[in-house]
A and B are shown apart, each in its own frame.
Chain A
Amino acid sequence: MPLFEEGLVRLKKKIHNKEIKASDLVDEAYARIGEVDGKVKAFLTLNEEAARDEARTIDEKGTADDALLLGMPIGIKDNLVTKGLRTTCASQILENYDPIFDATVIEKVKAQKAITIGKLNMDEFAMGSSTENSSMAITHNPWDLERVPGGSSGGSAASVAAGEVLFALGTDTGGSIRQPSAFCGVVGMKPTYGRVSRYGVVAFASSLDQVGTITRTVEDNAFLLETIAGLDPHDSTSADVKVPHYSAALTGDIKGLRVAVPKEYLGEGIDESVKDKIKAAIRQLEALGAVCEEVSLPHSKYAVPTYYILASSEASANLARFDGVRYGVRADSNDLIEMYKKSRSEGFGDEVKRRVMLGTFALSSGYYDAYYKKAQQVRTLIKQDFEKVLENHDIIVGPTTPTTAFKIGEKVDDPLTMYANDLLTIPVNLAGIPAISLPCGLADGLPVGLQMIGRPFGEKTLYRAAHAYEQTAGFKLAPAIKGAND
């Protein structure tokens, strides 16, 4: 049995008892990458030499170390800057970018002695829902190689599902952790806005972006979030709220938990096979003692257009920094403006250009009130919908995605259809609240994600509910992908 299937707690115990070494875990990561990554293509850059050195250091120094993630192999989405390890955002414009500092979340996982295995593929600048917008590689879903892994953290979710790493970090602006986690049958947490520092995250939409965690189990997820959360002097939007011991919340007891089920999340546009699995999961929660009640989030259908206006507007400002001057690729021209235009036009892919154009339009003189301000007002209405429901309920439950993983090439040429895939995840980012996606079974052989949405800084309750469900769900998910030696 692969070591990674045992999970963090047992692996750490084995290291402490000298049954295994950190090097064994790193060996398993690279062996598995060697076997399957030619098919999955989750990784853009490997950190093999440094990772093996770090593992050896841990092995030599002895195992009395109580670091939270001692020796655990982690994969990093390629929009989190890693000192001395190429960080591309899967964009040609950053194809040669060699960061001079570590993102705060990287410092934190390093301080707890996790070992970085490599950098993971994504939609360019995190703009997309299938990882097909990467300018570097197409990542394949380990459950069915003809299908997308979801996106934008597609490499992160695929690498965890394929057993290449124990866990991974991703970012979520409109569903970019939860949607690929759902498609790949793993556990993905988008924390409350401000829960995790954004310092060293290449910015897409600053009022929505949040770093989060992708793991095989809810327990591993709780430990990983515990590691990366907290106030950071380098990010003035990080929240001064104490980080609880999430792992201590996993009691298995959800008796009396008040669960809201929005009728909009089980309505039009959601596949029947997905609905069936979600309804079964809701019955399971009821059997565990939760009290489920149907509610309404009436502005849900406006979330996708609101998001595309706001996220694109913020992106058009954030991506202005890519001008071929301080970093990235520069095109040749004797004229400054032409140099900017050429560098950006050659360096950005179509979806990035589309969003920069949309955002620039929405912010331009004469259109600002009609589009940008209007969307900000609708954002208030969407946020209020959640506030009302969460006054009387502990969590909200529904599907993470309207369908299971779609085929590579199926939606890539139709931006609006692609955007619609995010209708269940986007509202959460607009409201700034936390949500977790966890597997709740298979539909036609593909994983279905159950989404649980919580109150601001209510991650603890989400972990408790998700863990209670996971422990009693009665199935274990593993993709069918076989390596050369299987």
Chain B
Amino acid sequence: MSRISEEQVKYVAHLARLSFSEEEIKTFTTQLDEIIGFAEQLNELDTEGIEPTTHVLDMYNVMRDDVVEPSLPREEALKNAPVQEDGQVKVPLIMEAD
């Protein structure tokens, strides 16, 4: 029985902002199905009441005084932006014009 369908793979691809050809969807469905099946061996373990580990160190808030420190000059910040205009990054239209 397959654990994940091609439809699900397409949906996950959309969430992950990836696009695939039909052929790639087939390959990924098979491979993800195998990997998920492999991960399901964790179900052999009873983890009732076990605290999840999110981080190995004891986490605490790191505070500092709120003082102004030098920030990046605009041209540095934009140095690697592939498309820019008038000192800003440029992206495709995100809202319809009236």
A positions within 8 Å CB-CB of B:
96-98, 100, 193-194, 207, 233, 236-237, 239, 299, 302, 304-306, 308-309, 316, 320, 323-330, 333-342, 344-345, 348, 353-354, 356-358, 360-361, 364, 371, 373-381, 383, 415-416, 430-432, 456
Query: A356, B16: Cβ atoms under 8 Å?
Result: yes
Chain B, residue nearest A301 (CB)? B41
B15 CB within 8 Å of chain A: yes
The docked-state distance in angstroms from the alpha carbon of A432 to that of B55 is 8
B positions within 8 Å CB-CB of A:
4, 8-9, 12-13, 15-20, 28, 31-32, 34-36, 38-39, 41-43, 45, 47, 50-57, 59, 62, 64, 72, 76-77, 79-83, 89, 91-94
Question: Could you say which of A305, A320, A325, A364 contacts B81, with CB atoms under 8 Å apart?
Answer: A325
The docked-state distance in angstroms from the alpha carbon of A266 to that of B91 is 55
Query: A233, B16: Cβ atoms under 8 Å?
Result: no
Query: A380, B39: Cβ atoms under 8 Å?
Result: no
Closest 6 CB pairs of A and B: A432-B56, A376-B52, A327-B80, A377-B47, A330-B82, A236-B62
The docked-state distance in angstroms from the alpha carbon of A339 to that of B90 is 12
Distance in Å: Cβ of B84 to nearest Cβ of chain A: 10
The docked-state distance in angstroms from the alpha carbon of A374 to that of B50 is 9
Give the most central of A237, A358, A432, A456: most B CB within 10 Å: A358
Supposing A305-B39, A380-B53 touch, asked if A334 and B93 sit within 8 A by C-beta, the answer is: yes
Chain A, residue nearest B4 (CB)? A361
Supposing A302-B41, A376-B53, A380-B52 touch, asked if A354 and B19 sit within 8 A by C-beta, the answer is: no
The docked-state distance in angstroms from the alpha carbon of A326 to that of B35 is 33
Question: Could you say which of A299, A358, A380 contacts B32, with CB atoms under 8 Å apart?
Answer: A358
Distance in Å: Cβ of A421 to nearest Cβ of chain B: 14
Query: A354, B76: Cβ atoms under 8 Å?
Result: no
Supposing A236-B62, A326-B89, A375-B39 touch, asked if A357 and B12 sit within 8 A by C-beta, the answer is: yes
Chain B, residue nearest A327 (CB)? B80
Listed A/B pairs (16) with beta-carbon separation below 8 Å: A299-B45, A302-B41, A326-B81, A326-B89, A334-B92, A341-B17, A345-B19, A354-B35, A357-B9, A357-B18, A361-B4, A378-B42, A381-B45, A415-B31, A416-B34, A431-B56
The docked-state distance in angstroms from the alpha carbon of A375 to that of B47 is 10
Chain A residues with Cβ below 8 Å from B92 are 333-336, 338-339
Distance in Å: Cβ of A257 to nearest Cβ of chain B: 24
Distance in Å: Cβ of A266 to nearest Cβ of chain B: 22
Chain A residues with Cβ below 8 Å from B54 are 207, 376
* Majority secondary structure, A binding face: helix
Question: Could you say which of B34, B43, B89 contacts A374, with CB atoms under 8 Å apart?
Answer: B43
Question: Could you say which of B16, B45, B51, B53 contacts A360, with CB atoms under 8 Å apart?
Answer: B16
The docked-state distance in angstroms from the alpha carbon of A416 to that of B16 is 22
Query: A100, B79: Cβ atoms under 8 Å?
Result: yes
Give the most central of A324, A360, A430: most B CB within 10 Å: A360
Besides A345-B18, A361-B12, A378-B47, 8 other CB < 8 A contacts?
A207-B56, A309-B42, A324-B82, A328-B82, A361-B8, A377-B52, A380-B53, A415-B31
Supposing A357-B13, A358-B32 touch, asked if A329 and B52 sit within 8 A by C-beta, the answer is: no
The docked-state distance in angstroms from the alpha carbon of A324 to that of B92 is 11
Distance in Å: Cβ of A355 to nearest Cβ of chain B: 9
Query: B32, A357: Cβ atoms under 8 Å?
Result: yes
Chain B residues with Cβ below 8 Å from A383 are 53, 56
Query: B18, A341: Cβ atoms under 8 Å?
Result: yes
Query: A374, B19: Cβ atoms under 8 Å?
Result: no
Chain A, residue nearest B16 (CB)? A360
Chain B residues with Cβ below 8 Å from A373 are 52
Distance in Å: Cβ of B41 to nearest Cβ of chain A: 6
Chain A residues with Cβ below 8 Å from B59 are 237
Supposing A326-B89, A334-B93 touch, asked if A375 and B17 sit within 8 A by C-beta, the answer is: no
Question: Could you say which of A193, A308, A338 contacts B56, with CB atoms under 8 Å apart?
Answer: A193
Query: B56, A233: Cβ atoms under 8 Å?
Result: no
Chain B residues with Cβ below 8 Å from A96 are 80
Chain A residues with Cβ below 8 Å from B9 are 357
Query: A327, B81: Cβ atoms under 8 Å?
Result: yes
Question: Could you say which of A236, A333, A374, A380 contacts B51, with CB atoms under 8 Å apart?
Answer: A380
Distance in Å: Cβ of A191 to nearest Cβ of chain B: 12
Chain A residues with Cβ below 8 Å from B81 are 325-327
Give the most central of B51, B55, B94: most A CB within 10 Å: B55
The docked-state distance in angstroms from the alpha carbon of A336 to that of B94 is 6
Chain B, residue nearest A333 (CB)? B92
Distance in Å: Cβ of B29 to nearest Cβ of chain A: 10
Chain A, residue nearest B43 (CB)? A374
Distance in Å: Cβ of A321 to nearest Cβ of chain B: 11
Chain A residues with Cβ below 8 Å from B93 are 334, 336
